[in-house]
Chains A and B, each alone.
Chain A
């Protein structure tokens, strides 16, 4: 067979044509370097196209649904089992394709964020056996075994036993009460008195129940990145694998740390997480040490010993049972010797009645505990909560607010949001807290529901939100367009959006523009720009020179900051949760507005 006949056959064979005589083809290829080159390059083309980097694929779903006329006009009750089955089916194909190039493909279509948020109301309870292995800290390798149990709305029990010392550790949240016990922490290994808390607010953000251990809503609610998903069995269950920075799973890891007295995790380290394909409950995770100067400093500062790339935390669940009865023994009361504190919440539905009540709630949400809390040196705050499975919503309201900032701890980086007839609201950059400053009432809404649902609830409170007074910290909140006008030449990411982060909160004050980008979990980047030609003297002792956008800038690992001067602007990128190399990459993408 000559080259003329071989190449069409080669092409057909590449596409899986069963009629091709592969033995004859193989013989020709071994003898003909030219045709072998044709075959190799054709394969390269395939790999390049199928493993093409997804820069910023659009999300047309909202526009399509809106044009079809009824986005969320009726509450969505799309069964998560159907959704997960769909995702799983889609991924089977992806895995097959992935085997062509050897590596998994970026499955841009897998909308993990939506699925995780929607899975919440289908999760009523779960139990599993759990194993945690920790390395790299002073205690050497530790192995902990135990159980993890959850019962909606807010009971989580994580009961562990350390293999070497037989020490018992526990972290239990059961509605109004919570307690924790175990060794007092590194380097002390003696048991300390269990610490217990009563008068705990429902869905308290002071001592949150580790709900992300049972469904990582905080970790994925804002996740809009096309990422690598794999599909493989974990403990005999079909699982979806995803790789994310540790900062994204801060809520999940914090729960584990609290229970197991575990070592710290660097926010930029790599977490491989496997979620049960049907329920999206986390089944397995590993954390591997990252690289770079910053990470080395961090290791040294903590006295850890892991090398870059080493897996230093492994967690695995076995015998997962979802939505079956959970014995109360999984949420035991605090031991008799516990030291108690009172968090100040007084359950009292009657007194919360004068707090605003929404006339619309996401479908299935039922009212839960209500009452009030007297904050130290602060106002009396009415608290109302609603939940549906793992999903929850909390409203806090006060008529006594005297602070010079928005009520509700949104931070200074806020975004004004138009609530139609309900006036003006303010959200944190992630859209997970929404505050209203209204006549005679200051209110904040927070929860695990979608940002759109939070806005809709806020719009039905019967309040009209006003702009904050000019002397409040949030009065400088602006828009990207306003920032452009205030500072000509302002550097922005393409389209003003940073991949993996939401719409930024913008502050413009005295020619200084600050854009705060928030991503899933605790991922956050702050970009500050001001007129100027040179950097001010360094604040950290560990300054190093670094090339940024073709200029010499400086990096201060201890402050997790990257700074440089460019075209009449002094620019700073800071993040406590994003690594230095990622900051450099973000800097590289910026373009003058």
Chain B
């Protein structure tokens, strides 16, 4: 994922909504994909994607180009995702999540997505930031507030668990003679 033209960011930070809309359109799907895997619910992810961009707009003027713009956006998305789960609306959101579970999001029914959903939250978010979003270890460390070494070990543990999950699935299929 590459960076937006700084002129666009600058215009958006100055209140140009058309420029900001371009930013939203460029990043909304990766942000939504990240949140959908993180939260396990497409509809909830859509709400939090909106919330993410509202926060991004409010904080654009504080972006200083010390990090990649994309990495910065996903830091905001991650916080929005965590806050959504913690918020006082949690009950409402969980109800919606359970309703959504009745008609599961087709893409989440895949084996890989199910495996990702099985990861503990800290491993899951690290893994998604690397594999879905494409951030490097240093950027993930900044986004999640942990040392780079922790990111490396989380990635390794996540991969171990995921590979084990996929292998177990295959063995199950073989055992059933399918």
Contacts and interface: CB of A to CB of B under 8 A. Distances in A.
Interface string A1-36: 000000110011011110000000000000000000
B112 A58 contact: no
A86 interface: yes
Contacts of B54: 64, 67-68
Interface of A: 7-8, 11-12, 14-17, 37-38, 41-42, 45-46, 48-50, 52-55, 57-61, 63-65, 67-68, 70-71, 76-78, 82-83, 85-87, 89-94, 96-97, 108-111, 114, 226
Interface of chain B, helix or strand or loop or mixed?
helix
A46 B116 CA distance: 11
27 contacts: A15-B130, A15-B137, A15-B155, A38-B163, A41-B162, A45-B159, A49-B131, A52-B33, A54-B29, A57-B29, A57-B32, A58-B49, A60-B24, A60-B32, A60-B49, A60-B50, A64-B53, A64-B54, A64-B57, A68-B54, A71-B17, A78-B18, A82-B11, A86-B5, A93-B3, A109-B30, A114-B25
B171 interface: no
B28 A7 contact: no
Given A11-B152, A53-B107, 8 more contacts: A7-B160, A12-B137, A12-B152, A41-B167, A49-B131, A57-B29, A97-B134, A109-B27
B8 A68 contact: no
Contacts of A12: 137, 152, 155-156
B22 A86 contact: yes
Q: Closest 8 CB pairs between A and B?
A: A93-B2, A108-B29, A78-B18, A11-B156, A76-B18, A111-B25, A61-B24, A48-B112
B145 interface: no
B163 A42 contact: yes
B2 A60 contact: no
Contact of B28 (A45, A61, A85): A61
A540 to B, nearest CB: 34
A69 to B, nearest CB: 8
B29 A15 contact: no
B33 to A, nearest CB: 7
A58 B46 contact: yes
Interface string B91-125: 00000000000000111001011011000000000
A50 B131 contact: yes
B1 A82 contact: no
B24 A64 contact: yes
Contacts of A82: 5, 7-8, 11, 19
B168 interface: no
A556 to B, nearest CB: 30
Given A49-B131, A50-B131, A42 B28 contact: no
A41 B163 contact: yes
B142 interface: no
Nearest to B49: A60
B82 interface: no
Contacts of A17: 137, 152
Contacts of B11: 78, 82
A83 B20 contact: no
B33 A7 contact: no
Contacts of B32: 57-58, 60
B46 A90 contact: no
Contacts of A46: 131
A44 to B, nearest CB: 8
Interface string B19-44: 11110111111101100000000000
Contacts of A57: 28-29, 32-33
B147 interface: no
Given A45-B112, A78-B18, A61 B25 contact: yes
A8 B153 CA distance: 7
B4 interface: yes
B16 interface: yes
Contact of A60 (B5, B53, B153, B163): B53
Nearest to A67: B54
Interface of chain A, helix or strand or loop or mixed?
helix
A80 to B, nearest CB: 11
Nearest to A84: B5
B136 interface: yes
Contact of A70 (B17, B113, B137, B162): B17
B134 A60 contact: no
A510 B99 CA distance: 35
Contact of A55 (B17, B25, B28, B105): B105
B132 interface: yes
A65 B137 CA distance: 33
B2 A109 contact: no
Given A7-B160, A41-B166, A68-B57, A15 B5 contact: no
Nearest to B4: A86
Nearest to A61: B24
A339 B159 CA distance: 74
A38 B163 CA distance: 7
A196 B163 CA distance: 70
A8 B24 CA distance: 36
Nearest to A48: B112
Given A11-B155, A15-B155, A64-B53, A97 B1 contact: yes
A109 B112 contact: no
Contacts of A52: 33, 107, 113, 132
A78 B106 CA distance: 37
Contacts of B156: 7-8, 11-12
B7 to A, nearest CB: 6
A224 to B, nearest CB: 11
Given A60-B46, A97-B1, A226 B159 contact: no
Nearest to B30: A109
Contacts of A78: 11, 16, 18-19, 22
B112 A49 contact: yes
A501 to B, nearest CB: 18
B155 A83 contact: no
A38 B25 contact: no
Nearest to A589: B106
Given A45-B159, A45-B162, A78-B22, A16 B28 contact: no
Contacts of B105: 55
Nearest to B167: A41
Contacts of A114: 25
A65 B24 contact: yes
Contacts of B162: 41-42, 45
Interface in B35-84: 46, 49-50, 53-54, 57
Contacts of B29: 54, 57, 108-109, 226
B161 to A, nearest CB: 11
B77 to A, nearest CB: 12
A143 B27 CA distance: 43
Contacts of B116: 49
Contacts of B107: 52-55
Contact of A16 (B53, B132, B136, B159): B136
B20 A68 contact: yes
